[in-house]
Amino acid sequence: MAFVAVPGPFDFVLTTERFRAFGSDRASLWHEGGLHRVVGGREVRIEPARGGVEVAPLDAETAPVVRAVLGLPFALDPFYAWAAGDEVLAPIVPRLLGFRPSLAPDPFEMLVGAITSQQVSLPSALAIRNRMIERFGVRAVEAWAFPTRERLAAAREEELVAVGFSRRKAEYVIGLARADIDLDGLVALPDDEVRARLVALRGIGAWTAEWFLARHLARPNAWPAGDLALRKAVAPLDAGEGRVRFHPFENLSAHYLLLAARLP
């Protein structure tokens, strides 16, 4: 295995908490103390090590996925210094020290997951997503490769309904797979342009677009005000106030608030 240093403080267990919180995720699989992802047909294992993680295999293809999953694009020190002066975050950050919000490495996977999660509980959404992965994806060793955009573009709505999707969500997923949009190219666009291009797609609204900015692009000012869990986490504050109150660290603030709510 190859060592990857992670700027401290770093807590591997907190960083990977979301892959255990709602059930076992076939595509981001927690297995025997490590996280497994399939990259280019190869299964990658990430496990904790002093000062960082051990990764196998680690190369030019797998390294960007590892960086995303470990939330390495986030700079925590400026956020911690700023959060110490906020009465809501000040008591939260010390007990979650070293938590790096994990990012979705693939934009298509991120959006399909978000569509699956619309208006259902996260455990239910994960169960449906897992059945889709097993139906249309490819298993490596322990983990599964998420279905490719091409594979889902060729699917029939009835096939997605059979694994638990509503008819409407099946339409959304297949429509997204077939849409004429360069999802990888969105990284080069400003936040507002990303939002505009995503909400122009059927089945993708402001909630999904904001989480795409937050959990795929790691945009610092992403704030999914319409998220029910986030609304509960900031109560009695108005969720919309967060975009102002937690500026310029809206994204990290949202992730810390949500994790604190799950780990009271």
**Ranges of each domain in the chain:** 2-73, 74-264
Query: Class of the 74-264 domain?
Result: mainly alpha
Return the closest-CA partner of residue 255 out of 217, 226, 222.
222
> Dihedral of CA 203/100/73/244: which sign?
positive
Q: In Å, how far from its chain's centre is CA 264?
A: 21
Bridge-partner residues for 138, per DSSP? 145
pTM beyond 0.85: the answer is yes
> What are the tokens at 88?
């809501």
Return the closest-CA partner of residue 122 out of 200, 30, 23.
23
In angstroms, the CA 253 to CA 17 distance is: 17
The model's pLDDT over 41-58, given as tens digits with 9 standing for 90+, comes to 999 999 999 999 999 999
The model's pLDDT over 124-154, given as tens digits with 9 standing for 90+, comes to 999 999 999 999 999 999 999 999 999 999 9
